[in-house]
Amino acid sequence: MLIGNLGADPELRFTTNNRPVLKFRLATTESYMDQNQTRQEITHWHQVVLWGKRGEALAKIISKGSRVYVEGRIETRSYEDANGVKKSATDIVATNLILLGSRGEGGGGAAGAGGGGGGGGARPAPATGAARPAPAGGGTKPDADDFPPDDFGGGGAGGDDDIPF
């Protein structure tokens, strides 16, 4: 299980048997405290492969920066490069993928793309997190960004509109 952001737009290809395969790079970030009690972050990159119609459908929905939840298995393969040098690569072969939202978007967004969410179908997430306009009349109602995000990817107050139940 991985949660991360796409590092580039996914690449959809078809095998010689016309079977769709979607490939993309996923960035996950690990945060820890070093010996000097300074917070450190390290980003890990994963090559994700998703076969079949699910991959074909998701190619239309996900893009660079999309935040996704991926379930799958690790698979190592060997190949020869153009110079005849034997190399190996490790892929995550996805069995389930759920769109959580785009980078900078408070999450919540679309589920259902990977069969894990109920109700409301998947919808494309905005390519970039656009700033929200200020409320009219300068009211004192708190903005969703004033609250920390919850464990479900919502943006705090007002984020209940995206809950499918």
Specify if 53 maps to a domain: yes
**C-alpha angle 57/12/127, rounded to 5°?**
70
Q: What is the pLDDT, as a whole number, of residue 35?
A: 92
Q: What is the pLDDT, as a whole number, of residue 139?
A: 43
Specify if 110 maps to a domain: yes
Q: What is the pLDDT, as a whole number, of residue 142?
A: 44
Query: Whole domain around residue 25: which residue ranges?
Result: 2-30+40-128
CATH number at residue 101: 2.40.50.140
Specify if 59 maps to a domain: yes
CA dist 63 and 34 (Å) reads: 34
Q: What is the pLDDT, as a whole number, of residue 154?
A: 45
- Give the residue ranges of the chain where pLDDT is below 70: 102-165
Specify if 136 maps to a domain: no
CA dist 48 and 69 (Å) reads: 11
